[in-house]
Homo-oligomer: A and B are copies of this chain.
Amino acid sequence: MDDEQTKIIKNDRFASFMGIELVKMETGYAMAKMEVLEKHLNGVNMIQGGAIFTLADFAFAAAANASGQVTVGLNANIVYFKASKGKTLIAEAKEVSASAKIAHYNVDVFNESKDYIAQVNITGYKKNKKID
């Protein structure tokens, strides 16, 4: 991973806007974290599902684009295991399998107490395009 790959990930304005931080990024693996603030809560004072999803999706994007080939999500499935009570959420994305055009990722979301908050499965499509 060189500066160009990092740049595309740092250029994710929605992730920045939400306060998501990239912790680690290598080909097929990434970790991201987010401090849970009041702005991430829904009407019943739980972390909004979309905030958890976005954190996971960002970790996927970092892992899938680290090699320099642009990869976009085709679909994603999120399962919420428990409501998080912590102050931080951490998402870890791992490539499970990949072919020339398709890559499947599992993203696990934990809080700082290692409670398993959610799992997101994402299938990505590798475009014929290098990051530049």
Contact = CB atoms under 8 A, between A and B. Distances in A.
B43 A79 contact: no
A68 interface: no
In the complex, the count of this chain's copies comes to 4
Main secondary structure of the interface of A (DSSP, over half): mixed
A7 to B, nearest CB: 8
Given A54-B54, A58-B50, A123 B121 contact: no
Contact of A101 (B65, B79, B82, B101): B101
A43 to B, nearest CB: 4
A37 B53 CA distance: 19
Interface string A78-95: 111111000000000000
A96 B116 contact: yes
A90 B39 CA distance: 22
A87 to B, nearest CB: 16
A48 B121 contact: no
B73 A74 contact: no
A56 to B, nearest CB: 8
Contacts of A55: 50
Q: Chain B CB within 10 Å — which of A12, A57, A79, A80 has the most?
A: A79
